[in-house]
Chains A and B, each alone.
Chain A
Amino acid sequence: MEVSRRRMRHLEPARPLRRLNAEQDQPSYADLESFPPSQCSSFNRIEVEEFYEILQLHSKTFATKKERISYSREFLLQAASSPMARRRPDFLPEHPVVLNKARVQDVRRLILCTTSPGKEDLSVQESEKNFTR
């Protein structure tokens, strides 16, 4: 009796509490003594925080909405050349800044810029230097 009590005390901090509880199929009298009933029952209960954690894990696997949807400049520029991206929007107000036909050549030029980024960087930097006050 005395020996088993000492062993339990020794193991307590080293083993995760949850595992300790699960692995004990037939707890001895000493074990029950070291874990008061209130503490034991809390192991088997899912706390509110844990519940939300589980829910979030599920929503992550089914709908990736929890993650940020991010795109690189290069990806966005490439998407500009797809036919879906060149159609005229269904609802477009009549306005001096609104064009009747898409500026296809501008989008092409943008994509050309991406293929030679080094060149572009240099030109922007040079012009920026001139104007900075």
Chain B
Amino acid sequence: MNNKFDALKDDDSGDHDQDNVSPKDCEKEKSEDEEKDPNTAKKKTVVPGAGEHPLQYNYTFWYSRRTPGRPASSQSYEQNIKQIGSFASVEQFWRFYSHMIRPGDLTGHSDFHLFKEGIKPMWEDDANKSGGKWIIRLRKGLASRCWENLILAMLGEQFMVGEEICGAVVSVRFQEDIISIWNKTASDQATTARIRDTLRRVLNLPPNTIMEYKTHTDSIKAWEDFHGLVNASGGR
């Protein structure tokens, strides 16, 4: 039992936290998610207002939370993840950001996701499926500051890796918080190295901070393995 949880814990940074959802449920959620296209069409209309500072890309804020106590199988990923809004300029970003709770003030098992408009914070999204993420585990109390530094660097195009960045996640957990940044091509070592170095610089991380890179393929495999084990032993 412990082993399973260790394997999962590795992966516990932001995306699908459907630890107890059966694979069958997940399949269903994915197709539901894909059908939600009217929303995507609406998002496309976000443009910078007059006199505002345009961003290189439009972004969307998402929020997800695992409700404690409720049977996880009745929840879907789609029910768990909510779009807060999309923005196209610096000013629009601050409008959303200042009207949201800071990650450090969140309680329970929850995540903020900030992704480029059109990219879902899911491993299976076309932009993410060959990608991966840098993960940094933070002790409690640092999440807000680090998250702000991370997203300001992303919005300000400080990573200098072309189109590679997909989005960023902050995950509030019981004893620690995790921030991660996702990119498109996990196999592109020049890109992942540059992202790592920029992260160190913008987060003021000391050289001995442990940073872990994980491909989404590995995340999916770990997740599937875990659920395979659960099903084989008859659990749900």
Contact = CB atoms under 8 A, between A and B. Distances in A.
Given A86-B95, A97-B106, A132-B206, A76 B63 contact: no
B76 interface: no
Contacts of A127: 139, 141-142
B98 A102 contact: yes
B52 interface: yes
Given A68-B56, A98-B84, A128 B98 contact: no
Given A97-B63, A110-B148, A128-B142, A85 B99 contact: no
Contacts of A101: 99
B36 to A, nearest CB: 15
Contact of A89 (B51, B54, B99, B146): B99
A103 interface: yes
B91 A95 contact: no
A80 B148 CA distance: 12
B141 to A, nearest CB: 7
B156 A75 contact: yes
A71 interface: yes
Interface residues on B, range: 35 or more
A92 interface: yes
Interface in A33-90: 68-73, 75-77, 79-80, 82, 84-89
Contact of A85 (B55, B56, B90): B90
Given A69-B157, A70-B157, A72-B156, A102 B99 contact: yes
Interface string A12-42: 0000000000000000000000000000000
B42 to A, nearest CB: 9
B96 interface: yes
B102 interface: yes
B219 to A, nearest CB: 21
Nearest to A131: B139
B21 interface: no
Contacts of A95: 63, 82, 84
Interface residues of A, number: 45
Nearest to B54: A69
B142 A107 contact: no
B142 A88 contact: no
A7 interface: no
Contacts of A89: 85, 87, 92, 95-96, 99
Given A70-B56, A73-B156, A84 B51 contact: yes
Given A93-B84, A98-B100, A103-B98, A76 B155 contact: yes
B20 to A, nearest CB: 22
A93 B152 CA distance: 23
Interface string B209-235: 110000000000000000000000000
Most buried by A among B91, B112, B157: B91
Interface string B191-209: 0000000000011111011
Given A79-B91, A92-B85, A124-B145, A99 B100 contact: yes
Contacts of A104: 98
Interface of A: 68-73, 75-77, 79-80, 82, 84-89, 91-93, 95-104, 106-107, 110, 120-121, 124-125, 127-133
> What 5 pairs across the A-B complex have the smallest Cβ distances?
A131-B139, A85-B94, A71-B156, A70-B157, A102-B98
